[in-house]
Structure formats: C-alpha cells, structure tokens
Amino acid sequence: MNKNLRIIYMGTPEFAVAGLELLVENGWNIVGVITAPDKPKGRGQKLIPSPVKEAALKLNLNVLQPTNLKSPEFQDELRALKADLQIVVAFRMLPESVWDMPPLGTFNLHASLLPNYRGAAPINWAIINGDKETGVTTFFLKHEIDTGSIIYQEKVAILEEDDLGTVYEKLMNIGAKLVLKTVEDIAEDKVKALPQDESKALHHAPKIFKETGEIDWSNSAESIHNLVRGLSPYPAAWTRFDEKICKIFKTKFAVDQKTNKAIGELQTDNKSYLKVQTGEGVLEILELQLEGKKRMKVDDLLRGYKFS
C-alpha cells in the first residue's frame, strides 16, 4: 500500500479531529491541514484555534487557515502542496477549483446515510424525527452539496436513551474509521463509487437556529421529547416558565397520560417533579437550566427554587 500518497485534510470542529489523528497514527502522509481562522471568544475576545488546528499542531502538521477559499493566493499555496487526495470532514463548502484540484479527487465524510439528511445538521434532525438508525457516508464531492457518488456507508443504531451528544460521539469514532478505510482503498484503487439513490432522499437537514429549539406544547409529548434529545446538550430545546427562559436537556414522556392542566401549563409539587401537559400526553422534565442558573436535575433545582 502506497502510504506516500500526499493528503490534504480539511475540517474545523471536534468531529473532524478523530479522523485526522487516526490517519496520522496509521502512517498516512498528511501534507497540509486546512481549517477555519482562529475566532475571538469570551470577555477578553481572545483568539481561540479550532479543535482541528489544535490537533494538527500537536501532530506537527502544516496548517493553513484561509479566510477566502477562492483567493488566488490560497489556491496557489494549496497547489504547491501537490496533493494526490483531499479529505473534507465538517468543513465549509468548497469551490470547484479547490475540490477538483487533486488527481484522486476530494471525498467528504457526512454524518448521515446519504442521500437522507443532506445539509448542515444531519445528526440533530435524525433524532428530532425519531429515527431509530443513522450512520456515516464517505462520498466524492461534486457541484451540488452532499450529492456526489457514495464510496462507503456505515449504519449506527439510535437507541432510546441516546441524545445528540451520544450519537455525535458514536458517529465521530465510526466516521474516523470509515475515513481510514476509504483512504486505504483509494490508495489501492479498490473504490467503486456509486451514484446516490434519490428515492432515499426522504429528509433534509437544515441548519439549527434558536427558533428551531422553541418548544410548541401543542405537539405530542413524544415529538417534544425527541426535539429535546436532538438538541441536547447544545444548543438545547427551550421554553419559558415564570417568564424566564428555561433550557431543557432531559425528559421522559407518557402518551396515555392527561392532567387537568391546560396545554403548556406547568405542574409541580415544587419538591421532586415538573410535568407539562402537551397536545398528546404528558412530558416530565428531568434536567434543565433556568435562566441565571446552571444545568441541574429537577429535584436539585427545586431545593432552592419554587415555581409560581
């Protein structure tokens, strides 16, 4: 196997770190890492590097942080690296002049079973929609986003107790192994990529905004429970209690229950439980963060706070 293949790796968040580390651990020749510019954060607006940059520097890799992927200066710098292959994991959309540059092409790791859940937030939406299965896909880039020919896919079960955090962790680790397998087979010319089956493009995965997480209590307890799971731990589903914003992280539901409360009205003994009547069934809140307080379990919150 030719491990001298010159590879450029592109990614920014934690999700992309595992794949980079696994490639280096297995002796692959990473000639450049492309990631987002450092961002100001916190009160002092100190510039903070991306997780991928931090990992790349620890691995003594060459890091590029372009502000404009179309700039001739960046593309000249990229061309000078003479990459045979490029890998994209959780990075921004590339211009054709970039993804078409290496002779072996550019492949992407996407956190869904494409063509289902094309878009920016595939993990969130699979859980929000109550799916029992998701997965990861490697595919070659082409013009339309998330539509290129599929190289490999790996399925992953979404368990009842899973939330965004746990599914993210599973897909990150399985995705890293799939990236490694894809590189190995491209190097040995074993890959036979196949076009996506458009009949399986059942759902989209648009970006998550604050309003996505606002709870509509007229929905069923089960659908609200899935919304909570799909946004926990971040950015979190939310509502208002006592005219305060309340983020909700963990719930359980009973579809066959009904209280004497109106839809959306809070029911509590102010000691051990918080329940809300929904459009169908009752949702019990188990972990939350009331405005001005830290995240905590309901019984811990109720030791020091009483709802009106």
The string of DSSP codes covering 65-114 is --S-TT-HHHHHHHHHT--SEEEEES-PPPPHHHHT-STT-EEEEESSST
Model pLDDT, residue 261: 86
pLDDT at 125: 98
Q: Provide the pLDDT for residue 10.
A: 98
Which one has a higher pLDDT value, 127 or 308?
A: 127
- Strand pairing class (29-34; 237-241): unpaired
Only one residue has tokens 């939350």, namely 288
In this structure, are strands 150-157 and 46-48 parallel, antiparallel, or unpaired? Answer: unpaired
Tokens (6 digits) for 168: 């993210």
Tell me which architecture the domain covering 210-304 has in CATH: Roll (3.10)
Q: Is the separation of the CB atoms in 77 and 101 below 8 Å? A: no
Beta bridge partners of 147: none
Provide the pLDDT confidence category of residue 257 given band limits of 50, 70 and 90. confident
Is pLDDT above 80 for 2?
no
Does residue 273 have a pLDDT over 80?
Answer: yes
* Most distant CA atoms of the chain, gap in Å: 70
Please report the DSSP string for 198-219 in residue order.
GGG---B-PPP-GGGGB--TTS
In this structure, are residues 183 and 87 in contact, taking their beta carbons and an 8 Å threshold?
yes
Taking 80 as the threshold, does the pLDDT of residue 258 lie above it? no
Q: For 49-58, what is each residue's pLDDT tens digit?
A: 999 999 999 9
How confident is residue 3, by pLDDT bands cut at 50, 70 and 90?
confident
Question: What pLDDT does 259 receive?
Answer: 78
- Assigned CATH class of 6-200: alpha beta
Please, what sign has the CA dihedral across residues 245, 50, 165, 131?
positive
State the Cα–Cα distance between residues 111 and 142, nearest whole angstrom: 17
Instruction: Give the mean pLDDT of 248-271.
Output: 89
d(CA 138, CA 36): 22
With beta carbons less than 8 A apart as the criterion, state whether 126 and 163 touch: no
Judged against a pLDDT cut of 90, whether residue 43 lies above it is answered with no
DSSP 13: S
The percent of residues above 70 in pLDDT, for the chain, comes to 100
The answer to whether 1 and 81 have CB atoms below 8 angstroms apart is no
Distance CA 176, CA 21 (A): 9
Per residue in 66-87, pLDDT (tens digit) is 999 999 999 999 999 999 999 9
**Cα Rg of the chain, angstroms:** 22
Domains 6-200 and 210-304 share a fold: no
**Helix, strand or coil, per DSSP, at residue 222:** helix
Cβ contacts of 160 within 8 Å, gap of 6 or more: none
pLDDT at 45 over 90: no
For residue 48, the model assigns a pLDDT of: 94
Which span out of 41-45, 54-58, 302-306 was modeled with the highest average pLDDT? Answer: 54-58
How large is the average pLDDT for residues 162-167? 98
From the list 70, 7, 1, the residue with the least C-alpha distance to 33 is 7
- Considering the chain, what is the average pLDDT of its residues? 95
- Per-domain residue ranges of the chain: 6-200, 210-304
Q: Which of 99, 148, 158, 91 is nearest to 120 (CA)?
A: 91
pLDDT in tens, 171-223: 999 999 999 999 999 999 999 999 999 999 999 999 999 999 999 999 999 99
Q: Which residue has the higher pLDDT, 94 or 256?
A: 94
**Residues 166, 279, 255, 266: what is their CA dihedral angle, to the nearest 10 degrees?**
80
Q: Which of 16-20, 45-49, 257-261 has the highest mean pLDDT?
A: 16-20
The model's confidence at residue 260, banded by pLDDT at 50, 70 and 90, is confident
pLDDT band for 42, please (50, 70, 90 cuts).
Answer: confident
Q: Are 9 and 32 in contact (CB under 8 A)?
A: yes
Q: Express as a percent the part of the chain with pLDDT over 90.
A: 90
User: Given the structure tokens 């920016």, which residue do they identify?
Assistant: 120
